[in-house]
Structure formats: structure tokens, C-alpha cells
Structure 1
Amino acid sequence: MKEVNCRRWRNTLGFSGCFIVDSLGKSGGLMLLWKSSICVCIKSYSPGHIDCLIQEPDFAWRFTGFYGQPDISLRRFSWDLLRKLKRLPELCELPWLVGGDFNEICYDSEKLGGVRRSPSQMQEFRDALDVCELQDIHSHGDLYTWVNRRRADSAIFERLDRFVACLNWRLLFPTARANSLDFFHSDHRPICIEIRWNVSQNLLEHRKLKTLFRFEKHWLLESECSDVITRGWGVSEPHRPLVDHLSGCKLALQNWAANR
């Protein structure tokens, strides 16, 4: 990814802001684009990430574009980088969204075809996400975001691309939705996250929901409670880890309780 090409794409797509990490060898490089209406401050970068602060009128949050090492023997350095980013003093308390190509899967269910992934390899990825308190944002659409483009009997599909976020970010943007798009002449599907919000209303809800969560027994007396729990748990998405089911259930109950 060369800077001159990135500038051309920025102009073609109508973005005013652009930050580029040039390619190294066969690495594709990284690019972050944003509209003039968004206040973005780049905090750090490397061949594996671009970390930025997004300043809203009443609050700030953090986005990190991430690229995991394609070489398995070096992938632990990617997880070390993620942990280091988590610990940055001036940013660690902010609502945090991370997205990109992690070059790794969390579970066997995220791969179809080919040799089975090493359990320890997947566990290292899950451990890094747990330490950083990042939870998966399930993508709507096709589960697999990468394909090796081989014939049917040797095709491999994997979920390498995703968004993950800390609980504060999920509370701040409870209606955020990730979507898997078409391949568009690439072996990766783009992942698009939709963040629809009214700034003042979301900030108000965020302050309400950030208080300590307690399940109230009297909720069980209300007819809607069972449906709220079912939707939050995500019974139609059995491949999700238990912590995501619990978190989704908690968020659904908090939203419901705050808006009754």
C-alpha cells in the first residue's frame, strides 16, 4: 500500500482525513480514513496497528485498527502489542473498539476445511482478548471472512476479521451492529460496523447503565422479561462463547430496565 495510492483513494471516496502506515516487504500496510465532521487524534501506530482517540462533543472513545501477524511463529508479538495498548495510562479507561484482520480464529467453529487449528494457538488469542477485556461483536451475515480461493474440495474458510469492544464501549453504543459484506475481488470480506446514535441521548444512557448491574426479582413478574433475556442471550448464535451470551443478556436487561 503506497502513500500515493492511498491519497488517491481518499479523494475518490470523499474522505478528508487520512493516516497511512506504509507497507513493509509483502505487508499490505494500513490506512485510516475519516470524514471532516469527526475529530480524530492519532495516538500511536506500527505495522500492526493504528490507535486513535475519537472526540465527540461530550465524550471521547478509542478505536484501534489492528492487523495480526500472518506468520504463526510471530503471532504472540501481536497479542503482546494488544496487551500493551490496553495498558496505556492515558487511554486505558476509555470506551475501546478494536477491529481488523487478526489472522486468527477463536474456536474450531470459525473454520471450515483444511487442517484443524492448534487449540493452544486459539487459546492464546482468547487469552489476549480476555486480558484486554475485549468481547466479540458478532457479525451479521456470513461467518467466514476469509477464503483461500481454491477449488471446492480444498477450499478453506475462516473468520479472521472481526470487531471486539470493551464493556464501556458496548454500553455507550448498545445498538452498534457489525455486518459481513461481499468479497469485492478480495479473499477477505470487509466488516462494517454501524454506529447509530444521538450523542446526548447515548451519553445519558451510558451514565445510567454504567452503574452496578443487579438483577431485580420483580422483573420476572413482567411478561416482557422472558423475551428480553432470550434476545439478549442470543439462542440463534450457539457458537458464541458463554461470556458473550452473559454480556448480551446483561446489556439487554439494562436497556429494557432503563426504558420501561
Structure 2
Amino acid sequence: MLNTAIWNVRGLNRRDHQVAVRDLVSEFRLHFIALLETRVMQSNVTRIQSEVLSRWRWFVDYAAPGNRIWIAWNDELIDVEFLNVGSQFVHCRVLIHELRETILITVVYGANEVSARRELWQGLIELSVTIGNVPWLVGGDFNAVLDMSEVSGASGDIRLAMNEFNDCILQTGLLSMPMQGERFTWHNCSLDGRSFWKRLDRLLVNDIWMDRWPNLFYTCLTPRTSDHSPLVLKGDCRNMQVSLFRFDNYLTLSPGFLASVHSIWRHPVTGTLMYSVTRKLKALKSVFRQQRRSKGDLAMNVKLAAASKLEQVMLRQRAKLQWLKGGDQCSKVFFRRVATRRANKRIF
């Protein structure tokens, strides 16, 4: 199945934002990614794309105001054909090479104003008529919520926007894809105590998609360098693997262990605290790997230690046999044992 992600990155000019995108692609082995609100001038497009994903294909649309949506994909795994480009969405057909199956993806970035978003709702309704019997995924930043439980904190009267969004979903026949992770996908990052959260980002699918992949879900990750959370859809949920941070405890006894941790931990990382921790742990992996190599072949050392231990056990067993055979006689074995016992019992 297609590994894909949609993320409102809130700018792609900064180095830390570019690194966060590359990390996302690498961590989840993505085939397709849509980036919203890149804020990149048209003259800098080629340079930014080469720094983020140099070997991937890219689509950008500067005809729409604000350069709202960028799409990148690995053309060795999928083919992408763009069918319709609106001011608030990009609609494309994706052929997955491995499955030899075609799906439709619509990437959305809704306008901030309620009146402007009506163009988006109407565009999605018109698209739904043309979909036919093909799996359809619609996802992105809708700038609207479905009900009041998706808002935490005072944010004004949003009932009109909420009702229009629900009407659009009803008319298009879209369904909410099962989700895990963060419930709220956007935070205003206020420092004056007037914080509020909303679930502005989501993935929706049609009934054909739901019938084809009934166990599929997407993950809403913790925010990284943006105030929006990345949305990641990674294949079949049965094949998902969680990458854990592990290292060998014996490395803590190495002279350079604490120095290595301090050198990496003091470097600042832009983004949320949890993202900063994960970035630093990832950087430590290569350091610990090098320290482990300097200790030699760990597996061979374990085998040698086990062999040495086995040899000691065998020698002790042989000593017991010798004692059973000649321990009670006036032999060298008896007198050696007596001398050893006296030496051990002596009080200085």
C-alpha cells in the first residue's frame, strides 16, 4: 500500500524545517508527501527542492495565490498524474507499481475565511461526481472542524463554518478514516495564556477505499517544527513497526560515553520539546554504534567469555572428582586442600 504524508510545514526556507521533512520521509519510508504553506519564492523553488528531496519528482502550482500546495513523490515506486488544480486543492491519480492499482488523492489547503472556503466545498462536491468506482483519499488542512469536541479553548463562533463542512462531507459521501495519535492537530502556540487547540487537519476516504482497505488508519504525529501535526498513512496497519531507541548498557562504562551525550545534547533543535528529544536520540545512535565497533566483535566476545566460563566449570568438576577419589587419603590432594583451607581461614 502507499506510504504517504500530508503536512502544513509553515515555511520551507529554514534549514530545520527541511531536515524535519527529510526525517519524516526517511522514518516512515514515504512514497508520496504533500507539503502545505511552503512560503518559498518561485526563484528559490529548484534550490529548496534539491535540498529537501533531490531524487524525487515535484509538483508546484504558483498560479494559485499563496503557493499553498507542494507535492513530491518517488517515481521509482509510483506514477502521479495531475487531473485538476484549484485554488485550495490539487487532485491527482496515483498508480502504485507494486499493487498495479490506481487511487485518487486530493490534497486540500482550505482558506482562512468562511466565505472563501465555500469555493473549496463546491469543488470537492463536483469532484465526487467524477470519481466513479476508484478509491479516493482527501486530506490536508481544511481550516475547519466537524464538531465542538474538536476544539479546546475559546475561538469565537464557528458554528456556520462547522455546518458547511459537514454539509460538504455529506454531499460528497466521504467518511472519516480511523486515526490514532494526537487528537488536536493545530495549536496557536500562545505565550499569553490564551491557548487553544483545534483538529484542522484530517484524512477522509470514500466507501470504495474503506471496502478495499478496511483496517487502514493514519497517525497524527506530535508537532515538529510547525504548529500543525503531520498526518502519516503507512501501508497496512498489520505491517507497521515501531522503531525503539536501544543501546548496550556496557557502553555507559566507556570513558567517552558522557562526553558524547553532552556534546549532542547541548545543540539546540528548533521545534517542540518532544521533537527535540527524538532528534538528539537519533543523533546518538551513530555515536553509540561507533563506540560499539571500537569494542570489537561483541558476538565473538560473548562466545569467548562463555567458553572461558565453561572451562572454569569443567576444572571445578574435575577437582571434585579428584577429591572424591583421593581426598580422604594421605595424598597430595589432601594436604593441598588442608593448606588452602588454613590460608583462607587465617586472621591477620
Coarse TM-score class (shorter-chain normalised): 0.5 to 0.7
Q: Residues of 1 paired with 2:193 and 2:63: CA distance?
A: 34
- TM-score, normalization by structure 1: 0.68
Structure 2 residues not aligned, in runs of 5+: 1-39, 239-348
Q: Residues of 1 paired with 2:220 and 2:135: CA distance?
A: 23
SS of match in other structure, 1:189? coil
- TM-score, normalization by structure 2: 0.52
Please show how residues 71-150 of structure 1 align to structure 2 within 5 Å.
Answer: 71-88=113-130, 91-150=131-190
**Match status 1:30 vs 2:72:** no
Distance of aligned partners of 1:135 and 1:15 in 2 relative to their CA distance in 1, 3 Å threshold: farther
Structure 1 range deviating more: 102-111 or 170-179: 170-179
Please show how residues 192-203 of structure 1 align to structure 2 within 5 Å.
Answer: 192-196=232-236
Please show how residues 121-200 of structure 1 align to structure 2 within 5 Å.
Answer: 121-151=161-191, 153-196=193-236
Amino acid of the structure 1 residue aligned with 2:138:
V
Structure showing the higher helix proportion among its residues? 2
Which position in structure 1 is the counterpart of 2:263?
none
Conservation of the 8 A alpha-carbon contact between 1:49 and 1:66: yes
TM-aligned CA deviation for residue 69 of structure 1: 1.5
SS of match in other structure, 2:204? strand
Which position in structure 1 is the counterpart of 2:106?
64
SS of match in other structure, 2:227? coil
Distance of aligned partners of 1:177 and 1:154 in 2 relative to their CA distance in 1, 3 Å threshold: same
TM-aligned CA deviation for residue 15 of structure 1: 4.6
Structure 1 range deviating more: 146-155 or 129-138: 146-155
Considering only CA atoms, is the larger Rg found in Structure 1 or Structure 2? 2
TM-aligned CA deviation for residue 176 of structure 1: 2.2
Q: Residues of 1 paired with 2:138 and 2:70: CA distance?
A: 14
Please, what is the CA RMSD of the aligned residues?
Answer: 2.3
Q: Residues of 2 paired with 1:119 and 1:17: CA distance?
A: 40
Conservation of the 8 A alpha-carbon contact between 1:148 and 1:187: yes
Amino acid of the structure 1 residue aligned with 2:235:
I
Q: Residues of 1 paired with 2:228 and 2:237: CA distance?
A: 28
Sequence identity of aligned pairs in percent? 25
Distance of aligned partners of 1:197 and 1:9 in 2 relative to their CA distance in 1, 3 Å threshold: farther
Q: Residues of 2 paired with 1:116 and 1:138: CA distance?
A: 28
Amino acid of the structure 2 residue aligned with 1:32:
I
Structure 1 range deviating more: 42-51 or 3-12: 3-12
SS of match in other structure, 2:173? coil
Please show how residues 200-219 of structure 1 align to structure 2 within 5 Å.
Answer: none
Which position in structure 2 is the counterpart of 1:209?
none
Structure 1 residues not aligned, in runs of 5+: 199-260
Q: Which has the higher contact order (CA 8 A, sep 6+)?
A: 2
Amino acid of the structure 2 residue aligned with 1:81:
G
Q: Number of residue pairs matched?
A: 195
Conservation of the 8 A alpha-carbon contact between 2:61 and 2:67: no
Conservation of the 8 A alpha-carbon contact between 1:15 and 1:34: no
Conservation of the 8 A alpha-carbon contact between 2:219 and 2:231: yes
Conservation of the 8 A alpha-carbon contact between 2:102 and 2:134: yes
TM-aligned CA deviation for residue 123 of structure 1: 1.6
Deviations 1:158-190 (A, max 9, x none): 000000000111222233221112322211111
Which position in structure 1 is the counterpart of 2:80?
40
Q: Residues of 2 paired with 1:92 and 1:146: CA distance?
A: 33
